[in-house]
Structure 1
Amino acid sequence: MFSITRIAKRLFRKMLTLKAVQMADNVDLGRKTVLNVGSEVRGDVKIGNFCAIGRHVTFQGRNHDTNTASVQDILYQDILNVTPADQVESILVGNDVWIGNRVTVLPGTTIGDGAVIGAGAVVSHDVEPFEIVGGVPAEHLGWRFPSHVRNQLMEIRWWEWDERRIHKNKHFFTLDLSDFPEDKSLYDYIN
């Protein structure tokens, strides 16, 4: 049997380690996308279906306006009593994207379907579908799949299927596509 003191200590420890996800402005999260703790999404940001977003990821869709005399919002708000004009550029994240912990995605970038962003990367330019990038700034590291597989996956667009169809095609999702033969079709594995 648990004592009240032990339960209270466990709850208090959990409360100290939980950090909320912060979202502001125009944020659109897709179906079954997971945005982990400590992440921040600001600006005009659209994230597709079935994405796995790591801890402490920042989507910085807005920046201070660097074309005015000051970049400090407090000067405009507290002294001049005006709303500062931020620079806002959209961020678009495709479907089935994996973004590692502590990644920063900068304004005006598009991350393609199926892409993988390595932990700690700073994404300052577009990422192609199924491309693997990492580093500061993020650079091309490789591809998840050969081109014939990437092309077929872009045609199939499984992330738009309903859950019943996904479940019905369980075998398709367990295939190793990294060395899938060029003479075969992924459509042969889909019901």
Structure 2
Amino acid sequence: MHGPDPDEKHPLPDFPQVCFIKNSVTNPNIIIGDYTYYDDPEDSEGFERNVLYHYPFIGDKLIIGKFCALARGVKFIMNGANHKTSGLSTYPFFIFGHGWESAAPQPGDLPYKGDTCVGNDVWFGYESLIMPGVKIGNGAIISSRSVVVSDVPPYSIVGGNPAKVIRTRFSDEVIAGLEAIAWWDWPVEKITRNLDAITSGDIARLR
């Protein structure tokens, strides 16, 4: 045996609240890596409902790496949520028509933070909220109900509103080593053989 099938929607047949969400997402601008799961007893296949203001005409992407764990209620706000902020009012008059179309923002008027990118082996706590354009490094932990408004370094633990780094999980040397090893890109057979080392706290066992 070499672990669960990453193409299986529900890897735990008797526990359907866990879904490998690359198999349930249909939006081409949401890209999910192997083994990343969403845990939600209400609708684990419906992860896309948690990606908010994600309009196709804007073209921004949500990219989540491999082996990430997303708890119930994790949400990503995308660039479509932004209003023009350079005017005296932020109200979107133009969307209501009836003569207000002339107030439509011009290209470049709306704030745009780019793609939201999540690394590998990231754990998102219950109801954490990720703002547009944030970059989250490999191995990070996002505490429950955090509001992440800025980039998160690899292997750091963040929490709060706005989320701040609480601590790093390992020394700079170990973090650099883990980034170089990138075990999440290994063939699954090699990952299986090295599970004891991967789940230990001793990076020397991976070398």
Decide which structure has the larger Cα Rg and report it. Answer: 1
- Given candidates 140, 165, 180, the residue that maps to 1:155 is 180
Aligned: 1:167 with 2:171 = no
TM-score (norm. length: structure 1): 0.72
TM-score (norm. length: structure 2): 0.66
Aligned: 1:137 with 2:162 = yes
SS of the residue 2:83 aligns to? coil
The structure that is strand-richer by fraction is: 1
**Structure 1 residues 108, 130: closer, same or farther in 2, change over 3 A?**
same
SS of the residue 2:63 aligns to? strand
Q: Distance in 1 between matches of 2:188 and 2:142?
A: 26
Whether contact under 8 Å (2:198, 2:206) holds in the other structure is no
The residue that corresponds to 2:68 in the other structure is: 51
The residue that corresponds to 1:35 in the other structure is: 38
Q: Distance in 1 between matches of 2:131 and 2:26?
A: 15
Query: Percent same amino acid at aligned positions?
Result: 30
Q: Distance in 2 between matches of 1:28 and 1:106?
A: 17
The residue that corresponds to 2:83 in the other structure is: 65
Q: Distance in 2 between matches of 1:30 and 1:71?
A: 37
Task: List per-residue Cα deviations over 1:21-67 (Å, max 9, x = no partner).
Answer: 98757111111111233751234210011000111111112223324
Q: Distance in 2 between matches of 1:92 and 1:156?
A: 20
Q: CA deviation at 1:151?
A: 1.4
- Given candidates 48, 52, 76, the residue that maps to 2:95 is 76
Q: CA deviation at 1:100?
A: 0.5
Task: List per-residue Cα deviations over 1:86-140 (Å, max 9, x = no partner).
Answer: 6543111000000101111111210000000000000000100000000000011
Aligned: 1:114 with 2:133 = no
Report which stretch shifted further, 21-30 or 153-162. 21-30
The residue that corresponds to 2:117 in the other structure is: 92
Q: Distance in 2 between matches of 1:117 and 1:132?
A: 6
Q: Distance in 1 between matches of 2:111 and 2:181?
A: 37
Gaps of 5+ in 1: 1-16
Q: CA deviation at 1:81?
A: 7.8
Q: 1:2-41 maps to which residues of 2 (within 5 A)?
A: 26-37=29-40, 39=47, 40-41=50-51
Q: What is the root-mean-square deviation of aligned Cα atoms in Å?
A: 2.9
SS of the residue 1:134 aligns to? strand
Structure 1 segments (4+ residues) deviating >6 Å? none
SS of the residue 1:76 aligns to? helix
Whether contact under 8 Å (1:64, 1:71) holds in the other structure is no
SS of the residue 2:61 aligns to? strand
Q: CA deviation at 1:173?
A: 2.1
**Structure 1 residues 70, 113: closer, same or farther in 2, change over 3 A?**
same
